[in-house]
Amino acid sequence: MNARKTMRSEGLALAGALVLLSLGAPGCEEKASIQITSPSHGAFVNEDSIVVTGTTTADPALHTVKVNGAQTILGPNGSWSATVSLDRDAIFNNGLVTLEDATGETARSSIAVLVGGSVLDGDLSPEAIAVRVNESAFDSLGIAVEDIIDLDLGDVLPVGHVLINDCFVRGLFGICIGSARVSIINPPPTYDTFDIAFDSQAQQVAASIDLTGIRAGVFIDGSGVVPNCTMNVWGAQATVDTQLALHPHAVDATKIDVEQTSNATIVLDDLQHQFTGGLCTAPIIGQIIQAFAPDIQQTAEEGTRNSLNTTDGAGNTPIAHAAEIALAGLDITGPLGSSLAADVVAPFFEIAEDEGGLTFGSDVSLTAACSPPTGAPDLVASYSSPSAFPAFGPTTPDGGVEYDAGFCISTAGFNQLLRAQTECGLFQASVTSLDLGGGPLPLTAGVVSALLPSFGGLPPALPLRIDLQPTLAPVFTGNPGPNGEMAEVRIGYLLVRILADDGSELVFLEAAAGTTLGVDVDFDEADNALRFVVVPPATPEISAVVTSNLVGASETQLTAILPAVFSLLLPSLQDSLQAFPVPSFTDFQLDVVELARSGEFLSIFGTLSGAAASN
Phi, psi of 422 (to 5 degrees): -65, -40
Distance CA 603, CA 292 (A): 62
**Least confident stretch, 12-16, 455-459, 595-599:** 12-16
The whole-number pLDDT of residue 541 equals 82
- Residue of 587 and 449 predicted with greater confidence: 449
Q: How far is CA 327 from each of CA 497, 501, 545, 580, rounded to the nearest angstrom?
A: 52, 57, 52, 21
Angle at 470 between CA 464 and CA 474, to 5 degrees: 135
The whole-number pLDDT of residue 288 equals 55
The whole-number pLDDT of residue 18 equals 42
Q: What is the tens place of the pLDDT at every residue in 19-40?
A: 444 444 444 456 789 999 999 9
Identify the band that residue 608 occupies on the pLDDT scale cut at 50, 70 and 90.
confident
Distance CA 270, CA 238 (A): 9
Q: Residue 237 in contact with residue 264, Cβ under 8 Å?
A: no
**Which of these CATH numbers, 3.30.70.260, 3.40.50.80, 2.60.40.10, 3.40.605.10, describes 31-115?**
2.60.40.10
For 479, residues 6+ apart whose C-beta sits below 8 A from its C-beta are 487, 488
User: Quick one: average pLDDT of 115-130?
Assistant: 95
Is residue 162 scored above 70 in pLDDT?
Answer: yes
The whole-number pLDDT of residue 518 equals 92
Amino acid at 160: G
Distance CA 473, CA 491 (A): 7
Amino acid at 114: L
Q: Which of 532, 417, 479 shows the shortest CA–CA distance to 129?
A: 417
CATH topology of domain 135-327: Bactericidal permeability-increasing protein; domain 1 (3.15.10)
Q: Residue 583 in contact with residue 131, Cβ under 8 Å?
A: yes
Can you tell me whether residue 422 is helix, strand or coil?
helix
Q: What is the tens place of the pLDDT at every residue in 190-243?
A: 888 877 788 889 999 888 888 888 888 888 888 888 888 888 888 878 888 999
Q: How far is CA 416 from each of CA 44, 112, 344, rounded to the nearest angstrom?
A: 14, 19, 10
Distance CA 346, CA 341 (A): 15
Q: Residue 576 in contact with residue 418, Cβ under 8 Å?
A: yes
Q: Which of 486, 571, 592, 598 shows the shortest CA–CA distance to 529?
A: 592
Of 182-186, 194-198, 522-526, give the range with the top mean pLDDT: 182-186
pTM value is: 0.79
Identify the band that residue 42 occupies on the pLDDT scale cut at 50, 70 and 90.
very high
Q: Which residues of 450-477 are buried (b: 16+ CB within 10 A; e: fewer)?
A: ebbebbeebbeebbbbbbbbbbbbbbbb
DSSP 151-185: --HHHHS-TT-EEEEEEEEE-GGG-EEEEEEEEEE
Torsion of CA 210, 211, 213, 218, to 10 degrees: -140
Identify the band that residue 186 occupies on the pLDDT scale cut at 50, 70 and 90.
very high
Distance CA 261, CA 265 (A): 12
Identify the band that residue 11 occupies on the pLDDT scale cut at 50, 70 and 90.
very low
Identify the band that residue 446 occupies on the pLDDT scale cut at 50, 70 and 90.
very high
Q: What is the tens place of the pLDDT at every residue in 544-556?
A: 899 988 998 887 7
Q: Residue 262 in contact with residue 243, Cβ under 8 Å?
A: yes
Is residue 394 scored above 50 in pLDDT?
Answer: yes
Distance CA 534, CA 263 (A): 54
For 606, residues 6+ apart whose C-beta sits below 8 A from its C-beta are 403, 404, 405, 406, 523, 590, 591, 592, 593, 594
Phi, psi of 338 (to 5 degrees): -70, -35
Q: Residue 165 in contact with residue 173, Cβ under 8 Å?
A: no
**Average pLDDT of the residues of the chain:** 83
The whole-number pLDDT of residue 8 equals 44
The whole-number pLDDT of residue 50 equals 96
Q: Which residues of 361-385 are buried (b: 16+ CB within 10 A; e: fewer)?
A: bbbbbbebeeeeeeebbebebbbbb
**Least confident stretch, 294-298, 549-553, 572-576:** 294-298
For 255, residues 6+ apart whose C-beta sits below 8 A from its C-beta are 248, 249, 324, 328
Cα-only R_g, the chain: 36
The whole-number pLDDT of residue 491 equals 93
Name the helix (H) or strand (E) containing 4: helix 2-22
Q: Which of 53, 57, 49, 50 shows the shortest CA–CA distance to 37?
A: 53
For 314, residues 6+ apart whose C-beta sits below 8 A from its C-beta are 321
Can you tell me whether residue 18 is helix, strand or coil?
helix
Q: Residue 87 in contact with residue 115, Cβ under 8 Å?
A: yes
Distance CA 426, CA 376 (A): 8
In the chain, domain spans = 1-30+428-568, 31-115, 135-327
- DSSP single-letter state for residue 444: B
Distance CA 553, CA 508 (A): 9
Q: Which of 469, 375, 472, 464 shows the shortest CA–CA distance to 429?
A: 469
Residues of the chain by 3-state class (helix, strand, coil), percent to 5? 20, 45, 35
DSSP 102-164: TTEEEEEEEEEEEESEEEETTSPEEEEEEEEEEHHHHHHTT-BHHHH----HHHHS-TT-EEE
Q: Which of 245, 197, 246, 192 shows the shortest CA–CA distance to 215?
A: 192
Beta bridge partners of 607: 591
